[in-house]
Amino acid sequence: MTLIDLMRARRSVRAYLPDPVGDDDLAAVLEAARLAPSARNLQPTTFIVVREPANRAALQAAYEREWFWTAPVVIAACVDRTSCWKRRQDGRSSADIDAAIALDHLVLAAWERGLGTCWVCAFDPVPARRLLALPEHIELVAMTPLGRPATLEGQGNPERKPLAAVVRYERW
């Protein structure tokens, strides 16, 4: 599959089979995330892989949607806001962008290997950071389940705006 075909085919998956994710698959998607670019190559993103049933059960307090926990693996993308690039003129941080690029690499690599994911940012950050034992300077940006899709039915609207609606030339 070409990259553009992969991008066209990928969907957010909200129903998973309980089949375990193999170590090779897990290593491959984490490697894809590791290769992501980041501002000034500071690489502020860390991925926490949550597989232990007790930890998964506890983490459910931070995101209670049942479908999310049908996947055998959860990956939490965390960022170190103290070690990311900040724009000199206004202090704007690259942290969320860096984490997002890395997670998107992971998401696409997962789909290439027949594994589903779904970005989730609607978690409750207070229990999430406690249950993931995040140090003060680390922030959870997004989580995703990782596993074999059970179905792609009922996954919402995949339509994208036409190109003409999202591109302007020369100025706004």
Ligand X SMILES: Cc1cc2nc3c(=O)[nH]c(=O)nc-3n(C[C@H](O)[C@H](O)[C@H](O)COP(=O)(O)O)c2cc1C
The neighbouring-strand residues paired with 143 are 76, 120
What is the three-class DSSP state of 68?
helix
CB of 73 to ligand X, least distance (A): 17
Please, are residues 70 and 18 in contact by the beta-carbon 8 Å criterion? yes
Q: Determine the Cα–Cα distance for residues 132 and 151; give it in Å rounded to an integer.
A: 29
Q: Determine the Cα–Cα distance for residues 147 and 110; give it in Å rounded to an integer.
A: 9
46, 60, 93, 155: which one binds ligand X (CB under 6 A): 155
122, 164, 165, 166: which one binds ligand X (CB under 6 A): 122
Residue range at the interface with ligand X (CB under 6 A); choices 44-52, 73-81, 86-94, 153-161: 153-161
Q: Work out whether 156 is an interface residue with ligand X (CB under 6 A).
A: yes
Nearer to ligand X, 107 or 138 (CB): 107
Pick out residues in 69-98 that bind ligand X (CB under 6 A). Answer: none
Tell how far CA 84 is from the center of its chain: 18
Q: Please count the residues of this chain forming the interface with ligand X, following the rule CB under 6 A.
A: 10
Which DSSP string corresponds to 33-65? HHT---GGG---EEEEEE--HHHHHHHGGG---
Q: Work out whether 11 is an interface residue with ligand X (CB under 6 A).
A: yes
User: Site mask, ligand X, residues 101-120, x = CB under 6 A?
Assistant: -----------------xxx
Interface ranges with ligand X (CB under 6 A): 11-12, 118-122, 155-156, 158
